[in-house]
């Protein structure tokens, strides 16, 4: 139990540090900013209690907001995605899945994990940008920023999972 907590803490600190030090400074053509710290929520197994996922999402989003000066946008988006992660994961897994099944390429297969990460990152980035913009006066700018940031975030999430999957544990 303590080892799992320390692993999650290490993942959270690494993802938040990467977001702060690297990804917050990436603005491709003024539109695209990757937000791969959502990967933390993709790591929770099927049987994890909802309050646990909500707490981790809240704290991770809060740390990113404090250092990015985004005033609760990341925290709200991470908490919302943490709220919908358990039913979404249960929907994506087969009915006979083990209670402690860890989502990943090795357990869900590439396309199963692809769909799961696709939906979860899209919901996160859409919520993040909707809360950040909070108006529809420039719908084209919103759409370009949201879709390009989602695509880059999704690519980074798949790349991180590919590195995690190939690394011996």
Collapsing DSSP states into helix, strand and coil, what is residue 69?
Answer: coil
Phi, psi of 132 (to 5 degrees): -70, -45
Stated pTM of the model: 0.90
User: What are the structural domain ranges in the chain?
Assistant: 2-166
Q: Which spans in 43-104 are helix H?
A: 50-68, 73-92
Q: Is the pLDDT of residue 134 over 90?
A: no
Question: In this structure, what token pair is assigned to residue 104?
Answer: 């990943």
Share of the chain above pLDDT 70, in %: 95
pLDDT at 86: 92
| Cα separation, 31 vs 96, whole angstroms | 42
pLDDT at 154: 96
Q: Is the pLDDT of residue 136 over 80?
A: no
- Asked whether 92 and 64 are in contact (CB, 8 A), the reply is no
- Asked whether 37 and 64 are in contact (CB, 8 A), the reply is yes
Q: What is the pLDDT of residues 74-118, one digit of tens each?
A: 999 999 999 999 999 988 887 776 777 888 888 888 898 999 999
Phi, psi of 99 (to 5 degrees): -60, -35
End-to-end Cα, the chain, rounded Å: 17
Q: Is the pLDDT of residue 56 over 60?
A: yes
Q: Is the pLDDT of residue 168 over 70?
A: no
| Cα separation, 132 vs 99, whole angstroms | 36
Kindly give, in sequence order, each residue whose CB lies less than 8 Å from that of residue 169, ignoring residues fewer than 6 positions away. Answer: none
pLDDT at 142: 85
Question: In this structure, what token pair is assigned to residue 11?
Answer: 């993942």
């Amino acid at each position: 139990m303590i080892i799992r907590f320390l692993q999650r803490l290490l993942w959270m600190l690494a993802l938040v540090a990467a977001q702060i030090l690297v990804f917050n400074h990436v603005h491709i053509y003024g539109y695209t900013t990757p937000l791969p710290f959502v990967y933390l929520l993709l790591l929770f197994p099927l049987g994890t209690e909802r309050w646990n996922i909500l707490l981790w999402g809240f704290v991770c989003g809060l740390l990113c907001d404090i250092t990015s000066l985004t005033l609760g946008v990341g925290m709200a988006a991470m908490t919302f995605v943490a709220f919908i992660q358990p039913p979404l994961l249960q929907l994506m897994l087969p009915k006979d899945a083990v209670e402690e099944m860890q989502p990943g390429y090795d357990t869900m297969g590439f396309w199963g994990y692809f769909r799961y990460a696709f939906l979860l990152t899209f919901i996160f980035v859409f919520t993040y940008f909707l809360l950040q913009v909070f108006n529809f006066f420039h719908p084209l700018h919103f759409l370009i920023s949201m879709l390009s940031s989602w695509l880059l975030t999704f690519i980074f999430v798949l790349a991180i999972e590919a590195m995690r999957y190939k690394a011996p544990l």
